């Protein structure tokens, strides 16, 4: 009984070369297809539109950051102005308090001097007897 003998080396090599040639022809035909070119063109257009949208978003983000920085600067300016006004008010209050204390001390000194003068006069009267 004869056993099955497959193709020899030359036959296998020629079959492999034919398969490679067929695949290459199939690839060339697919790359020359107008539908593929159209798909590639749409893909490129979509990618470019995406890049434009990304650029617009980045520009908007930079604009928002600049606006936030400007608002922060304005807020800092308002805080600084409020601090200055508070310091002025505190200085006025301190000046008024110092003035009130000075006038109170002057009144107390005048009252003390009046009492001292009255005591002196009473003492003199007692010594003289009249």
- pLDDT recorded at residue 128: 85
The rounded mean pLDDT for the chain is 92
Is the pLDDT reported for residue 104 higher than 60? yes
- DSSP notation for 27-59: HHHHHT-HHHHHHHHHHHHHHHHHHHHHHHHHH
Return the exposure string of 30-53: e unless at least 16 CB atoms fall within 10 Å of the residue's CB, then b. eeeeeeeeeeeeeeeeeeeeeeee
Alpha-carbon distance 78 to 65, whole Å?
20
Q: How far apart are CA 27 and CA 19, in angstroms?
A: 12
pLDDT tier, 94 (very low <50, low <70, confident <90, very high otherwise):
very high
Q: Are 7 and 15 in contact (CB under 8 A)?
A: yes
Average pLDDT over residues 21-33: 89
Q: pTM of the entire structure?
A: 0.45
Q: What is the pLDDT of residues 47-83, one digit of tens each?
A: 999 999 999 999 999 999 999 999 999 999 999 999 9
Q: Rounded mean pLDDT of 83-108?
A: 96
Q: For the chain, what percent of residues have pLDDT higher than 70? A: 97
């Amino acid at each position: 009984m004869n056993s099955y003998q497959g193709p020899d080396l030359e036959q296998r090599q020629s079959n492999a070369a034919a398969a490679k040639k067929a695949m290459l022809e199939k690839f060339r035909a697919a790359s020359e297809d107008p539908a593929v070119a159209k798909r590639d063109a749409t893909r490129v257009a979509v990618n470019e539109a995406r890049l434009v949208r990304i650029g617009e978003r980045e520009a908007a983000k930079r604009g928002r950051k600049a606006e936030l920085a400007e608002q922060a600067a304005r807020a800092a300016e308002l805080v600084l102005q409020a601090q200055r006004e508070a310091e002025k008010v505190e200085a006025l209050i301190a000046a008024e308090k110092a003035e009130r204390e000075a006038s109170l001390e002057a009144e107390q000194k005048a009252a003390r001097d009046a009492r001292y003068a009255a005591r002196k006069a009473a003492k003199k009267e007692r010594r003289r007897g009249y």
